[in-house]
Amino acid sequence: MDCLRRLPVIGKLMRTHAWRAYERLDAVHWARLAAAITFTSFVALFPLITVGAAIGAKLLSEDQLGKLQNKIADQAPGLSDLLDLDSLVAHAGSVGLIAGSLLLVIGINWVGALRGSLRAVWKKEQDPGNAFLLKFKDSGVLVGLGAVGLVAIGSSVFANSAVGWAADKAGIEGGAGRALLFFAGLAIALVVDFLLLVYLLTRLPRVHPGRRAVVVAGLIGAVGFELLKWLLTGYLQGVAGKSMYGAFAVPVAVVLWINLMARLLLYCAAWTATAIGAAVPSGETAEGEGPEPGISPAADAAPQRASAGSGAPAAPRLQKHSP
């Protein structure tokens, strides 16, 4: 690797922040972390969507339910094919009760797995503190994440409707109107993705990265999420439509989609963790490292205090021990 760093172009690339983030991911075995996130997310996803559909069946009209299904289809291509909204509406009470009880347990475990994976990127203890208190905090994070998601989706639907209404009032039709709606929807989606990523990168792992690093990582994640969604839509729909996969077509496509999103989230976390001067909670170092074994912090700091007044580094004193 050292010889590659001396090359003109490759060496310059290997000194960038993007490469430092990749090296951190490689050091923490990010493929395993992404696999853990994918499994727990896939298990928790269906109870979550089922509860949302059941609540929507009680509060929304049929037209609004159709918009909700279209929104789910846009965010996770092929996923809406697994949901029978008519059946969910007919059994909204029982479905909500059963799935809600499962979601409380599965969702807390999902938050714990996601938190542990993000803290692993920071090279920190994955389950710090009291286990029961940690579960209680995870439940609060789950509720907060659900609230942020609902507000984000509601804001997106409202903003899209407002843009469409404004375009109709202004008399913008044809290609110009469609282009306006497309770019407005894209901008709204980027803002929603950015807010969700900022919440995940800061509140979930309980770290305090620099503001600039969080903003850049959030923008990378938001743009990457929309690009992956756009590039994978046709592919996932094609996989789901092939009869050779049978009943496993849509689940396989959803697992692939979740895994790519998990890798993107881990890269964003690595970006914040490897930023220059990344801030962390008090009492912890940026890399989770402590003093070398057998060396007390006070003794190690003594030569540094002595050298601070003289302006020159002081050599450590060697002490002879009698046999």
Band (27; pLDDT cuts 50, 70, 90): very high
Dig out the tokens for 73 from the structure. Answer: 């289809």
Tell me the HSE value of 223 on the side-chain side, using a 13 A CA sphere: 5
Residue 207's domain comprises: 2-276
Query: Could you tell me if residue 311 is inside a domain?
Result: no
Q: How far apart are the first and last CA of the chain?
A: 45
Model pTM above 0.75: no
CB 145 within 8 A of CB 199: yes
Q: What mean pLDDT is predicted for residues 298-321?
A: 44
Query: How many structural domains does the chain have?
Result: 1
Q: What is the share, in percent, of the chain residues with pLDDT greater than 70? A: 52
Q: Are 208 and 280 in contact (CB under 8 A)?
A: yes
Token pair for 112? 């714990």
Cβ proximity of 271 and 21 under 8 Å: yes
Report if residue 304 sits inside a domain: no
Q: Are 197 and 219 in contact (CB under 8 A)?
A: no
Structure token pair of residue 177: 């109107």
Task: Give the pLDDT band (50/70/90) at residue 43.
Answer: confident
The answer to whether residue 202 sits within a structural domain is yes
Helices (H), 28-173: 30-59, 62-75, 85-90, 92-121, 131-170
- Note whether residue 223 is domain-resident: yes
**Residues 282, 286, 292, 293: what is their CA dihedral angle, to the nearest 10 degrees?**
60
Q: Which pLDDT tens digit goes with each residue over 278-296?
A: 544 434 444 443 333 333 3
Q: Is 290 within a domain?
A: no
Decide if pLDDT at 113 tops 70: yes
